[in-house]
Structure 1
Amino acid sequence: MDNKNAIAMDLVAKMAVEQLAKEQNKNIEEVLISFMESNTGRMVYDDSTKLWWDGPSAVVQEYKNEMGIIG
């Protein structure tokens, strides 16, 4: 994986966590911990899944699906 992909993964993860925190009205640190411990968080950093390529909205939806969050 090249450096550009790693930076893109970080940015998408950051944007997804920010969106989740805002939607759930939760502390960003709390959401970040939960996100990074999730399968979705691992998938963002697994270049073979290309989840990061789909952008933060797709990552948020994947996380919500994983966690059983409706909406």
Structure 2
Amino acid sequence: MDATQATQLRTLLLEAADAIDRANAIVSTLDSEDRALLATPLDEISSALHFELLQKLYLRYPGLAEEGEDWDGTMV
């Protein structure tokens, strides 16, 4: 993977993270049965995205981490 591909991948992963955040906002408004059904899988996807995919990308291309964003995708 070159730097251009890494940048494109980062953009798509961050867009996916935003979509997951929006989905979580909707799920949080659902009744308890539906919320219980959907919340855990969404949390697992979000964790994998931030702490596996983005982390590995930032380890390989540290310059891609946004200012104020740690290498593991968390804000510092």
Bin the TM-score by the shorter chain: 0.3 to 0.5
Q: TM-score, normalised by structure 1?
A: 0.40
Between 1 and 2, higher relative CO (CA 8 Å, sep ≥ 6) is seen in 1
- Structure number with greater Rg is 2
Q: TM-score, normalised by structure 2?
A: 0.38
